[in-house]
């Protein structure tokens, strides 16, 4: 695959360089070997989607080795920059279960079978994060009795924070694909096309268009493409709406939040509609929403923090009289598949939540995310778009025009 | 009367080589290049450890060794009790089942091992035809 070998390929990422950076950081922390288990770590080091329980073992020097469920190991080896000698499959067979196979491999890679092993332990709101479980930790500790297991996930978190050009280009392409999906939905629902359509059908129309444009899957664990119509757009504080079988109806809002994946880069963009006839009150809500999104996008830049953004935006909403409808959060983290939750490092007042005083730096990537919800009126809107932080502005990657469109 | 060969003896090894070369030509071995050690624990009469080592290049058996102690380095090693291997060779126990019940332990790349599973079955079936004294 040229994006693994051709440095001129727009999607090229220097994976051997990443591994060397990890190994250098391991050296400064006296860690002899790193045992990664998070989905984000596997994506970031192996450049392969690992949906089954998987681990990556990074020795102090040399190439990493991925361990995954045997049924998927050959495919992972084919997708990854690592060859088949560095992707092992585990299975419920003597000597081949994940604990024994990985433990023996680790012992062979440590001097005298002893050393400090970095592991990934923590918590997340994102279910498929892949932290080492208590059972796995206990089993590895028993099998590696001469070793000390230490929590070291911040090595990866720190190195993965600022995105390189290849990663950003993968996100750009995923966002372009998402825009294709939005256009397909718009074409399908316009001029009365939405009548008798359900939320699941809208999700499927977007999925087909995005797959045709090259998306690998609708990656979000929140149900793939999230679609909400009518009262479902306005759940209090709600920002998770897997598509239901609810039929779209005249006079109601429609929220389309779709996801595409391109080489583990993630597209995530929401667009909102009002089905005619639209009341003045609905337009008032819609205009509030568009105005605050516009203002937020104008505000993001390096040196801002999540709390500063929230303070400014909630101040604006208060001035305009719609603060009651705003969820007071304006972003979530994003990175290669599996990295979808906290912004920045684990250094805030609440462990494993975004640090409100995290200072954005150039080439950080995040999802600008806003939820406007008025449950009592059954109306709400969502905005999500990957943005790149630049020194004096932010760059939204999805280009589908911002607005709340009326559908006749 | 049919001649029998003591299991894992030099005579048994020679008979194994003769039968494998005749019955498993390179095309039946998928022209594979690999190596494999069977490590037998608790061998009678003294509980010693023995090995059976195979090396094939382009599907041709180029080396078959029996011995005691450390086997030559192989791409795959399968270790287990002498009696477990004996049951497999007599056709009383499947190699897959022995692995899945932890009676045998496989070391090596599982993905590559999957590609060789059917070849190992063929090989075991030929060895099972050798009149053997256990």
pLDDT tens-digit map of A230-239: 999 999 988 8
Are the C-beta atoms of residues A33 and A110 closer than 8 Å to each other?
A: yes
A167 to chain B, closest Cα gap in Å: 30
B70 to chain A, closest Cα gap in Å: 17
Whether the ω angle into residue A322 lies within 30 degrees of 0, i.e. cis, is no
Percent of chain B with pLDDT over 90: 75
Among candidates A70, A95, A104 on the partner chain, residue whose Cβ is nearest the Cβ of B111: A70
CATH architecture of B5-122: 2-Layer Sandwich (3.30)
**Confidence at residue A342, expressed as pLDDT on a 0 to 100 scale:** 86
| Smallest CA–CA distance from B103 into chain A, residue | A94
Mean pLDDT of chain A: 96
Give the DSSP H or E segment for A273: strand A265-275
Among candidates A73, A74, A94 on the partner chain, residue whose Cβ is nearest the Cβ of B105: A94
CATH number of A165-407: 3.90.230.10
Mean per-residue pLDDT, A143-166: 97
Spell out which residues of chain B touch residue A94, defining contact as CB-CB under 8 Å.
80, 98-106
Q: What is the pTM of this model?
A: 0.93
Listing from the earlier edge strand, what are the strands of the sheet with A253-262?
Answer: A226-229, A253-262, A265-275, A404-407
Mean per-residue pLDDT, B52-58: 96
Strand bridging mode A331-333 / A265-275: unpaired
Kindly report, as residue ranges, where domains of CATH 3.40.350.10 are found in chain A: 2-160
Residue B68 has pLDDT above 70, yes or no: yes
**Confidence at residue B1, expressed as pLDDT on a 0 to 100 scale:** 65
Would you call A85 and B109 a contact, using CB atoms and an 8 Å cutoff?
A: yes
d(CA A104, CA B4): 40
Coil, strand, or helix at residue A239? coil
**Confidence at residue A93, expressed as pLDDT on a 0 to 100 scale:** 93
**Confidence at residue B96, expressed as pLDDT on a 0 to 100 scale:** 85
Would you call A95 and B106 a contact, using CB atoms and an 8 Å cutoff?
A: yes
Q: Where does chain B show beta strands of DSSP type E?
A: 5-6, 34-43, 48-57, 60-68, 76-81, 104-107, 132-133
Spell out which residues of chain A touch residue B101, defining contact as CB-CB under 8 Å.
94
Q: Quote ipTM for the complex.
A: 0.85
Kindly report, as residue ranges, where domains of CATH 3.90.230.10 are found in chain A: 165-407
| Band (A345; pLDDT cuts 50, 70, 90) | confident
Spell out which residues of chain B touch residue A89, defining contact as CB-CB under 8 Å.
109-111, 114
d(CA A74, CA A61): 24
Mean per-residue pLDDT, A30-39: 98
Residue B34 has pLDDT above 90, yes or no: yes
Would you call A94 and B114 a contact, using CB atoms and an 8 Å cutoff?
A: no
Percent of chain A with pLDDT over 70: 100
| Smallest CA–CA distance from B97 into chain A, residue | A93
Mean per-residue pLDDT, A72-85: 96
Would you call B98 and A94 a contact, using CB atoms and an 8 Å cutoff?
A: yes
CATH number of A2-160: 3.40.350.10
A131 phi, psi to nearest 5 deg:
-55, 150
């Amino acid at each position: 695959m040229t994006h693994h070998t051709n440095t001129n390929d727009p999607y090229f990422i220097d994976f051997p360089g990443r591994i060397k950076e990890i190994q250098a950081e391991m050296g400064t922390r006296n860690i002899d070997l790193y045992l990664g288990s998070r989905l984000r770590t596997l994506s970031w080091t192996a450049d392969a989607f690992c949906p089954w329980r998987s681990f990556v073992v990074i020795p102090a020097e040399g190439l990493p080795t991925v361990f995954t469920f045997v049924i998927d190991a050959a495919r992972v080896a084919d997708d990854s920059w690592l060859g088949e000698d560095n992707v092992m499959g585990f299975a419920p067979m003597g000597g081949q279960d994940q604990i024994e196979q990985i433990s023996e491999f680790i012992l062979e890679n440590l001097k005298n079978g002893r050393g400090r092993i970095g592991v990934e332990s923590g918590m997340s709101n994102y279910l498929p994060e892949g932290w080492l479980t208590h059972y796995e930790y206990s089993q590895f500790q028993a099998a590696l009795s001469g070793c000390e297991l230490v929590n070291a996930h911040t090595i990866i978190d720190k190195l993965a924070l600022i995105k390189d050009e290849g990663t950003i280009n993968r996100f750009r392409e995923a966002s372009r694909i998402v825009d294709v999906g939005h256009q397909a939905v718009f074409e399908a629902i316009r001029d009365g096309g939405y009548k008798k359509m359900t939320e699941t059908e809208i999700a499927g129309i977007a999925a087909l268009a995005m797959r045709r444009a090259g998306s690998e899957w609708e990656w979000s664990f929140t149900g793939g493409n999230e679609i909400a119509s009518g009262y479902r757009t306005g759940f209090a504080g709600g920002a998770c709406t897997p598509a239901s079988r609810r039929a779209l109806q005249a006079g109601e809002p429609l929220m389309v939040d779709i996801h595409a994946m391109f080489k583990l880069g993630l597209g995530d963009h929401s667009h909102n509609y009002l089905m005619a006839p639209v009341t003045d009150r609905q337009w008032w809500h819609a205009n509030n929403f568009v105005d605050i999104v516009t203002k937020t996008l104008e505000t993001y830049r390096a040196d801002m923090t999540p709390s500063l953004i929230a303070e400014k935006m909630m101040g604006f909403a208060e001035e305009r009289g719609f603060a009651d409808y705003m969820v007071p959060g304006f972003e979530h983290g994003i990175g290669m598949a599996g990295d979808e939750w906290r912004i920045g490092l684990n250094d805030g007042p609440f462990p494993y939540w975004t640090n409100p005083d995290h200072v954005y730096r150039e080439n950080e990537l995040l999802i600008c995310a806003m939820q406007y919800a008025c449950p009592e009126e059954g109306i709400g809107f969502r905005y999500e778009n990957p943005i790149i932080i630049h020194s004096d502005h932010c760059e939204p990657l999805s280009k589908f025009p911002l607005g709340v469109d009326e559908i006749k | 009367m049919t001649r029998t060969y003591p299991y894992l003896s030099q005579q048994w090894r020679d008979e194994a080589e003769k039968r494998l070369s005749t019955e498993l030509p390179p095309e039946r071995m998928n022209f594979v290049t690999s190596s494999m050690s069977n490590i037998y624990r608790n061998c009678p009469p003294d509980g010693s450890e023995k090995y059976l080592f195979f090396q094939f290049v382009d599907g041709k058996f180029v080396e078959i060794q029996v011995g005691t102690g450390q086997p030559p380095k192989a791409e795959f090693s399968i270790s287990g009790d002498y009696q477990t291997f004996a049951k497999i060779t007599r056709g009383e126990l499947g190699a897959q089942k022995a692995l899945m019940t932890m009676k045998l332990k496989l070391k090596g790349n599982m993905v590559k091992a999957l590609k060789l599973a059917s070849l190992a079955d063929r090989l075991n079936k030929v060895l099972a035809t050798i009149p053997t004294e256990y």
